[in-house]
Amino acid sequence: MSFTRDCLKGKVALITGGGSGIGRGITSRFMELGAQTIIVSRKYDRVKSTAEELEKQTHAGTAKAGIDAMTKHLAAEWGPCGVRVNGVAPGPIAGTAGMSKLGTSKAPVPHGTSKKNDAGDDELDQLTAFIPLQRLGNQKDIANSVVFLCLPEASFITGHTLVVDGGTWLTAGNFAVLDTAVRKAWVERGKAIRAIANDTEFTSKL
């Protein structure tokens, strides 16, 4: 998506989590397009470094659902004042903390996060196979979506959570899209788990 260089001139953006990952990408994009940006992060060192350079899932899922609900309520309450409230729900985005947990070279570790070797390139390839557009997103995909929601062209959009995931939600959990190799991998993994469960010497040590 192409935007004029000053399309956000005169606007002030308060970006939470702007010190790293997707928030950092959004901050950079907003600055490029002329907005004054204020970044907020839980860790001062992340905010400081970004400002200088730029001039277990239950709790997370619950928090995100709360944000979706808050977006709708605030849109209804603040609409009469001319304030629009929208959200963006990113899908699998390369170079973010979520992808770094896969522990793969295809998911570079963003500033301020650590890499956990929980999975490898094969797992990431399987994830990509589920995405209709057959690629991971990038921070610019998200940043451009946020920019669009802030433009006059989106002036009649409020209370909406824009899903930017390459269509992932359309196929998530649909095992029919698994190819033969991946199906075999699932079967073999199941066999390995059952073998461990039946190993009395191993289970007796637990």
- Are residues 45 and 91 part of one domain? yes
- Are residues 203 and 151 part of one domain? no
Find the domain containing 182 and state its range. Answer: 174-206
Residues 65, 67: Cα–Cα separation, whole Å: 5
What contacts 158, CB < 8 A, 6 or more positions away?
75, 79, 84, 85, 86
In a domain, residue 101? The reply is no
Residue 79 belongs to domain with CATH number: 3.40.50.720
User: For helices 139-150 and 21-32, what crossing angle results, to 10°?
Assistant: 50
Mean pLDDT of 97-126: 53
Average pLDDT, the chain: 77
In a domain, residue 126? The reply is no
In a domain, residue 91? The reply is yes
Count up the domains in the chain and report the number. 2
pLDDT value for 60: 67
In a domain, residue 115? The reply is no
pLDDT digits (tens, 9 = 90+) for 43-84: 777 777 767 666 555 566 678 888 999 999 999 999 999 999
In a domain, residue 121? The reply is no
In a domain, residue 111? The reply is no
- DSSP conformation letters of 123-174: HHHHHHHHSTTSS-B-HHHHHHHHHHHHSGGGTT--S-EEEESTTHHHHTT-
In a domain, residue 127? The reply is no
Contact in structure between 36 and 59 (CB atoms under 8 Å): no
Assign 113 a pLDDT band (cuts: 50, 70, 90). Answer: very low
pLDDT value for 35: 87
Residues 47, 196: Cα–Cα separation, whole Å: 46
In a domain, residue 189? The reply is yes
pLDDT value for 65: 82
Highest mean pLDDT range out of 112-116, 121-125, 168-172, 193-197?
168-172
Residues 156, 153: Cα–Cα separation, whole Å: 8
Find, among 2, 66, 50, 5, the residue nearest to 30 by Cα: 5
Paired sense of beta strands 36-40 and 12-16, if any: parallel
pLDDT digits (tens, 9 = 90+) for 162-205: 999 999 888 865 655 555 655 666 667 667 766 766 666 655 55
Structure tokens at 55: 């001039």
